[in-house]
Amino acid sequence: MEQTKKSARVVISGGGTGGHLFPAMAIADALKKIDPATEILFVGALGKIEMERVPAAGYEIIGLDIRGLQRSLSFENLKFPIRLIKSLRKSFNIVKNFKPDVAVGVGGYASGPLLYAASLKGVPTVIQEQNSYPGVTNKLLAKRAAKICVAYENMDRFFPADKLMLTGNPVRKDILAIEGKKEEAASFFGLSPEKKTIFLTGGSLGARTLNESILEHLHEFKDQSIQLIWQCGKFYYNSLKQQFNEAEYPNVKLMEFVSRVDLAYALADIIVARAGASTISELCLVKKPAILVPSPNVAEDHQTKNAMALVNKQAAILVKDAVAKTELVPVAMRLIANEEKKQKLANNIAELGLKDSAVVIANEILKLIQ
């Protein structure tokens, strides 16, 4: 008599930011697509983005009371050891009760305790490292991992070479379909399909430096034929709206958040952005010239390292945060006028794009179970 095939059980841990959470959810979706019977449990950090977004996507999540160490002297740092011990205990209970076949860590505070507990219980672990320079947690977890999925070459500087697999970062499928959408995009933003367009994005929260850089040079968009789609973020939208008269700047579309990123990418001739791992993965796949302004406020300055991985291959231009207020807009204006440079950057960034990353990672997870 044939035995009924047991459905795979996978626990996915991490989050804290969209950059960690989106790959986690994309991997979960890919696992479900390959085998709808796969049972998936998320483990996140209480109070972080994943605690809302994961249930909204239809997955179960358990929260750990874990936070990172603050860079400055802080009372919160004194609580860290207690939080860590509590999170480890809870993680051991999760592993004991859920009985996962594989534990996946995508970075973020919750991935450390959960993957450590899983590995001690003999559960194979997979790390998905989005950045070109890994954080401390993933470096520590790598020793026990069965597989490490990375988005950049030469990661054997940080991880055991025999465990590495170059998969790229999972990106949102809906934003990659940009072909033939220029007219629709122009209509959506109320801009012209004929004029050259810059898309500037500081992410959903916004980036102060990018916004201040535009404000400093706003006059340059007044009479020029250059258009700007300006995603300023929810923290900055209301104050920026008061600082300039939209009627005076028909070429500038100020938006708190761009819901149709595919249309922004479709209309853009060049893109200005921070250098988060997910953003860079998207830029490689939409094949557009990019100017990257790495955030200085991230652990181990990993955004600069992400950006340099492209700059060293002449696949992007880097403007340092410290000089962006004076240099960013002039650099963007020179680039948008230089057809040869734009084509070279587009060709080079296109060579770095890795497609179907979520499916590739999901298949690696299932191979460990089989």
How far is 279 from 294, CA to CA, in rounded Å?
Answer: 11
In sequence order, which residues have a C-beta less than 8 Å from that of residue 88 and are 6 or more positions away?
113, 116, 117
Q: Which two tokens stand for residue 295?
A: 């955030």
Binding-site sequence positions: 17-19, 131, 172, 204, 303
- What amino acid occupies position 171? V
Binding-site sequence positions for UDP-N-acetyl-alpha-D-glucosamine: 17-19, 131, 172, 204, 303
CA 343 to chain centroid, in Å, comes to 25
Compute the CA torsion angle 23, 27, 32, 35 (nearest 10 deg).
Answer: 170
In sequence order, which residues have a C-beta less than 8 Å from that of residue 28 and are 6 or more positions away?
10, 12, 40, 42, 57, 59
| Rounded alpha-carbon distances, angstroms, from residue 118 to 122, 140, 165 | 6, 14, 21
- What amino acid occupies position 170? P
How far is 75 from 77, CA to CA, in rounded Å?
Answer: 5
The neighbour count for residue 344, using CB atoms within 10 Å, is 14
Q: What is the DSSP code string of 32-67?
A: HHH-TT-EEEEEEETTSTHHHHHHHTT-EEEEE---
How far is 334 from 206, CA to CA, in rounded Å?
Answer: 24
The neighbour count for residue 301, using CB atoms within 10 Å, is 13
Residues 170 and 22: beta-carbon distance below 8 Å: yes
How far is 21 from 14, CA to CA, in rounded Å?
Answer: 7
In sequence order, which residues have a C-beta less than 8 Å from that of residue 58 and are 6 or more positions away?
none
Q: Over the Cα atoms of the chain, what is R_g? A: 22
Q: Which is it for the CA torsion 196, 293, 278, 67, positive or negative? A: negative
State the Cα angle at 252 between 248 and 255, rounded to 5°: 120
